[in-house]
Structure 1
């Protein structure tokens, strides 16, 4: 659990005349698992997620949820406020259940996050428990499709656990959300089958958020496949994201929520096969950086430095997954 002297995070708080408000424990990275470490830290500092998980009665100990619960309980009851923890038991169970992660390769943290959330949701349902995972992360969007011949409008509702947003150079989360809901014309081979007309017709379609989640996860699509290079390349575009957010792409009667940024998973390096992940979280009004076993307090101004670059530099640190909590 670390050395005998004060850790970096302890020195950071000493310099500003404060005591550590809670335990800040880093994670070992022996098998290229920074992609998972960053996710586990972000979820740990999602207060509602931590509370529900720790208090959950688990029927079987042979689950991801039981291993994650054990890890989090060990963290909050640790005698030391700083140090390094092992996530070996959690990752061993994840690797058994998903062969994609059963190796030492570098993986995509977003892929791991979504798999983990869905797995926990499945385990809750399997033991007959109410799914607080859905309660926290699930939202609903509706796709509106208007036939340009008869003007009839159809609606199709779907649930989501996160929003994957396209990015452009010098854009923002708000502009990406707006593009997510732009009107698209369906024509040619993509014509829409209209039930009223009983044939395929040109149509206009758009997707709007109908029921926003309590925890909003925004995934920035920073990796794009290059046919020329035959591999995924990183889009290090500068994408600004605010500390507070109101959704601008909702249906008219959608309940309005104000969101506050509380965690961000950052990607460094030229691509997800070769890069590195770390988490920056907000805890008791302070921003803390978790880079595997290295933990430090950082200034809020650092957030602007992870927006990306206005130049085509593939290795700069970029915000990749954003976690917002609804404040009302």
Structure 2
């Protein structure tokens, strides 16, 4: 997982950066397209004013030049107004038609100035207005499409960022719990007997004191359990078998511990147990049952030898179990 995160993290960051850069450019383009809409609208309105003035005998060459200047910049992307070229075929075609129709209107204006009838100029101006409308609508539509695409890219960026964040959070939470488990395991190795898994005595009594302090209304007893003549087992059956017996008993006893009960290993073949109880008889009977079950298990019976477990309350006396 760590290796995968090392690979995925730069890839995700690179993707986010790339999408962000493209989105910023798109947003900038949309702003420029809004400017195109405004200036095509200016051409539409100014051209109609030019025609109106010409038909009323008030020519305005400066306004004519203003319209031509804007049209040229719309077509070339070069000029003082900062207009850009939009990558829209429909818009470009409409813009070409608008330029052609403007040239027609110019010719009609020259004719009116030479005394021709103005009806043809009026008809040409109406057609110019329609083309200008189409041009405005085409750049508006293109701008809206770009805005939708940009919104989609921003959404993708957000999703990718959220996915990257979730992956990072998952990775670090998983790492945290892995470290926690490792620390608990290492702590267990430090506080528990390597052979049996029971608590070392120092840790056992620390836990005993903690449990009893937290549960002052409950009754607890510390019992000891001792395998009698365990040296005989080691001598006759070998130390490996002796170790198996100790491990087996520890596992057996711990599997039968209740809440707030503990098992510790005092030395060699001696264990101590913290138990909750209501009466001393019930306490000793419970422990006798556990010991009897172990002595009757296949691990003990496999070598067909007698074994005795002695034990008792550290304060109140003892009991014995044989097998």
TM-score (norm 1): 0.19
Which has more helix, going by share of residues?
Answer: 2
Higher relative contact order at CA 8 Å, sep ≥6: structure 1 or structure 2? Answer: 1
TM-score (norm 2): 0.19
